[in-house]
């Protein structure tokens, strides 16, 4: 924000030869705290309440009312700022010089407005409050953003929150839960062959296929890159294996072309693990081990980790 955005129109201005009595009456009638003194629109001085009080004190001491003009009482050479000066800079200037008023001039040096110290402080406080509010709102939006922008499934943060909740619930009610780690086979070769934009389209299609094939109670998240995590609450090993196999077949049946794959179509490998009292981090490690074995076994397959 610049001073030009903040300044107010000039309410009262006079020439130096105007009588002080006229100025006092003007300040009273217009309810303004100052009167600007100009010659041909160039600032020459300023009359504020402070000057009026000083003159009044002199009158009381002398017990007479001198015929004074504005030019005899005004503060000469008032501090002026151009209208493109930033608010913060003007505020520093006003505070360092203990000024209550700043005159605003254009490029030619002619008076175009006035800004008070109170105006500047209020505006600055509003800016700070607005900035704080925006930062808070951005933080809240970030916290509330639980969806991966590309795949339109849960993101990593949402996944961890849900995993912690599911683990606690499983321990509390003695019910098992399962995790499936899904990875696109030879996805780097796919990107190299078709380009990253087409790779993104493939990931979006994959997410839609998984959402259509999973159960209503399951939750799906982007684990990282082309890896996807499927969280299955209250499930047995056999049920988890069935769900994973249904997803694998659905992806294979979609016949998404992949020339660099031995299957000539996009396929996935899945590692599954199930536990009850197990921390979710351990289940992910076990599912990751099962996924590694599925890759080693030729890909396009599902392996259930069998706990010892």
Structure tokens at 211: 């959402």
> Would you say 258 and 175 are in contact if contact means Cβ atoms under 8 Å apart?
no
Alpha carbon separation from 82 to 13, 119, 163 (Å, rounded): 18, 16, 59
* Closest among 166, 143, 148, 302 to 237, alpha carbons compared: 302
| Residues 6+ away with beta carbon under 8 Å from 47 | 20, 23, 27, 34, 35, 36, 37, 70, 73, 74, 75
Residue 119: closest CA among 83, 94, 96: 94
126 closest CA partner among 102, 91, 96, 97: 91
**Based on the number of CB atoms within 10 Å of its own CB, is 68 exposed (0-12), middle (13-18) or buried (19 or more)?**
middle
What are the residues whose beta carbons fall under 8 Å from the beta carbon of 263, sequence distance 6 or more?
A: 185, 252, 299, 300
Structural contact between residues 32 and 12, judged by C-beta atoms closer than 8 angstroms:
yes
Residues with a known catalytic role? 226
């Amino acid at each position: 924000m610049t001073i030009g955005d903040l300044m107010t129109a000039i309410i009262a201005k006079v020439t130096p030869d105007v009588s002080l009595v006229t100025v006092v009456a003007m300040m009273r009638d217009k309810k303004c705290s100052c009167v600007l003194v100009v010659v041909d629109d160039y600032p020459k001085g300023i009359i504020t309440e402070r000057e009026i009080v000083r003159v009044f004190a002199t009158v009381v001491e002398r017990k007479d009312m001198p015929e004074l003009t504005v030019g005899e009482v005004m503060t000469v050479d008032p501090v002026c700022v151009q209208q493109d000066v930033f608010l913060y800079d003007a505020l520093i200037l006003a505070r360092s010089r203990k000024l209550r008023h700043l005159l605003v001039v254009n490029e030619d040096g002619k008076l175009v407005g006035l800004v008070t110290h109170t105006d500047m402080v209020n505006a600055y406080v509003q800016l700070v409050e607005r900035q704080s509010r925006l930062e808070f709102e951005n933080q809240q939006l970030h916290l509330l953003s639980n969806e991966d922008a590309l795949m339109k499934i849960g993101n990593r943060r949402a996944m961890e929150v849900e995993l912690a909740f599911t683990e606690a619930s499983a321990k509390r009610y003695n019910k098992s839960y399962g995790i499936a780690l899904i990875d696109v086979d030879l996805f780097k070769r796919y990107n190299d062959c078709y380009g990253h934009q087409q790779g993104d389209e493939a990931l979006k299609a994959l997410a839609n296929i998984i959402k259509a094939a999973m159960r209503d109670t399951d939750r799906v998240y982007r684990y990282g890159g082309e890896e996807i995590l499927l969280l299955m609450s209250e499930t047995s090993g056999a049920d988890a294996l069935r769900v994973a196999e249904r997803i694998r077949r659905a992806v294979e049946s979609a016949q998404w072309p992949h020339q660099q794959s031995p299957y000539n179509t996009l396929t996935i490998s899945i590692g599954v693990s199930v536990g009850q009292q197990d921390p979710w981090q351990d289940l992910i490690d076990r599912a990751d081990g099962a996924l590694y074995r599925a890759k080693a076994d030729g890909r396009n397959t599902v392996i259930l980790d069998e706990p010892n």
